[in-house]
């Protein structure tokens, strides 16, 4: 996501959030972006750890099937 503004990430903002100063909105946007990156890393790690329970010869096929 190139545009990290809050509106770009969430779409229409509630009035209370839209009324915040631009610097506060950018702080929220940065925090949201960082949280989404952490979540993506955690999900990736969990997916890779789950693959340990798949026999080694099947792992490449399973990775392709689930998009890892």
Q: What is the pLDDT of residue 36?
A: 93
**For residues 25 and 3, which has the higher predicted lDDT (pLDDT)?**
25
Per-residue pLDDT tens over the stretch 5-62: 888 888 888 899 889 999 999 999 999 999 999 999 999 899 888 888 999 999 899 8
Model confidence at 1: pLDDT above 50 = no
Q: Collapsing DSSP states into helix, strand and coil, what is residue 67? A: coil
Write the DSSP assignment of 14-65 as a string of letters: PHHHHTS-HHHHHHHHHHHHHHHHHHHHHHHHHHHHHGGGS-TTTHHHHHHH
Q: What is the pLDDT of residue 2?
A: 58
If we measure between CA atoms, which residue out of 52, 40, 47 comes closest to residue 68?
47
Residue 41 structure tokens: 């890393």
H or E element that contains 6: helix 6-10
């Amino acid at each position: 996501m190139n545009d990290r503004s809050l509106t770009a990430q969430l779409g229409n903002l509630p009035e209370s959030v839209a009324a915040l100063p631009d610097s506060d909105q950018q702080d929220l946007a940065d925090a949201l972006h960082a949280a989404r990156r952490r979540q993506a890393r955690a999900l990736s790690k969990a997916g890779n750890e789950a693959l340990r329970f798949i026999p080694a010869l099947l792992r490449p096929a399973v990775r392709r099937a689930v998009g890892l």
